[in-house]
Amino acid sequence: MATVEFFFDYTCPYAYLASTQIEALCARTKSELSWRPMLLGGLFRSQGVDSNLAATMLAAKAKLLVSDQRRWADLWGVALSVPRPDGYARSVDALRATLLVADSRRAAVIHRIYRAYWVEHRDIGSPEVLRALLDEAGVDGASVLARVDDSVKQALRANTDEAAERGAFGAPSIFVGDEMFFGQDRLVMLEEHLGGVGREPGQGRSTRLAEGRVVEIYYDISSPFAYLGDLGVRAACERLGARLVHRPILLGGLFKEHGRELVPFSTYSPNKQRFVSKDLERWAARWCADFRWNSRFPVRTLDAQRIAVALASELASSPDEARAREVLARYVRETFRVVWATDEDPTDRAVLARCLRDAGADPALVSSANDPAVKQALIERTKEAAERGVFGAPTFVVDGALFWGQDRVSHVERALEGWTPPE
């Protein structure tokens, strides 16, 4: 029997969401669940990460994440009230108390404290509140809190240190042996790893086809996430009868619009970098895609993106709209492929000419990368994306709702099937 170790802190809404599903997942896969409290602030400090994420996060990203949390809760049918009006209450005492609770009552205590924190907005840092919650979960709260001593404090630190040593960088971090699955959005992969049949949240809620509906994708071929997200959303649109519209932007320009000029991957902790590299491989395998990390990363894609803008403009006047859309989609696919499957150089115009030719377009269009009007058009498209709330790639738009990341393709599918995502 496999053991699933669930490292968590009460202050993370995504860990709360995952906690509502993990027991049923383990039951379906006949796995043993081990609850592992850790202190998220301590984990962040061990990774050299600012523990006040809200202070460093883009406003557009913070806004979308609140919607994202509500969406997961809605698809799973669980209660969640975000954001907390008082920010993030202290959780260390609750985590220490959780370690003292007998295994037979630990799940009940965890669920009660999580609900108090993320649904009722109670202050679990208050000794009186915490004692009452423990009582409500069927344990003697006063007795548990009286037993908190240096050994319990050390046990929580040890859990946190162990999580960091094994590769954790946030919550929830879920381990099966040496394999780590991070986040509520990797539970499907976790279940499949355990031999089960993964099922996306909300899958089957509605099965109507999305014939004629539109998915927009903001992308830059410099992003491996956009490469994989493009593959995933293409398949979803083909299956559901939706139309995919590509919106080329310049990711570096988008970051500047939001006051950021860094390559995000370079800012990640070593643990997060290792996980992301492994995670990309998992997504590629999931969508049966060839994937190789480009040896020139960060990749310069200015010419390729300008040509995409020029191609889209040229095709806009085509009497055959469907064919024009397919030519652009093939060009996007080919440029993604040379960067993230065959490790080629997208600054080589011979490579870009080949991509145009293979897409059924005129290879001479490579010269459009020097056209001042095309250059300005890409700048304007990037600014418009930022004004719309786009802050990274891939970003998908369905009926005005934004979805960020290759790991939100399933949400795009649900929206195409008729789900109205909470905002």
pLDDT at 100 over 90: yes
298 preceded by cis ω (within 30°)?
yes
Q: Which helix (H) or strand (E) holds 218?
A: strand 214-219
**Class of CATH domain 214-416:** alpha beta
- The pTM of the full predicted model, rounded to 2 decimals, is 0.95
3-state helix, strand and coil shares in percent for the chain, rounded to the nearest 5: 55, 10, 35
Average pLDDT in the 78-93 region? 90
Say whether 214-416 and 3-193 share the same fold. Answer: yes
Average pLDDT in the 256-279 region? 89
Report whether 220 contacts 391 (CB < 8 A). Answer: no
pLDDT digits over 313-360, tens only?
987 888 888 888 899 999 999 999 999 999 999 999 999 999 999 999
Average pLDDT in the 209-213 region? 74
Of 223, 184, 273, nearest to 394 by C-alpha is 223
Which pLDDT does position 209 carry in this prediction? 63
- List, in sequence order, the alpha helices (H) in 57-126: 59-76, 92-100, 103-118
What are the domain boundaries of the chain? 3-193, 214-416
Tell me what percent of the residues of the chain surpass a pLDDT of 70. 98
pLDDT digits over 12-52, tens only?
999 999 999 999 999 999 999 999 999 999 999 999 887 66
Which pLDDT does position 325 carry in this prediction? 86
- Which CATH number fits the domain 3-193, given the four candidates 3.90.1150.10, 3.40.30.10, 3.40.50.720, 3.40.190.10? 3.40.30.10
Which pLDDT does position 294 carry in this prediction? 97
Which pLDDT does position 20 carry in this prediction? 98
Which pLDDT does position 210 carry in this prediction? 65
Distance CA 169, CA 269 (A): 8
Report whether 72 contacts 184 (CB < 8 A). Answer: yes
pLDDT at 263 over 80: no
Which pLDDT does position 417 carry in this prediction? 92
Average pLDDT in the 266-283 region? 94
Residue 337 neighbours by CB under 8 Å, 6+ apart: 290
Q: Which helix (H) or strand (E) holds 56?
A: helix 53-56
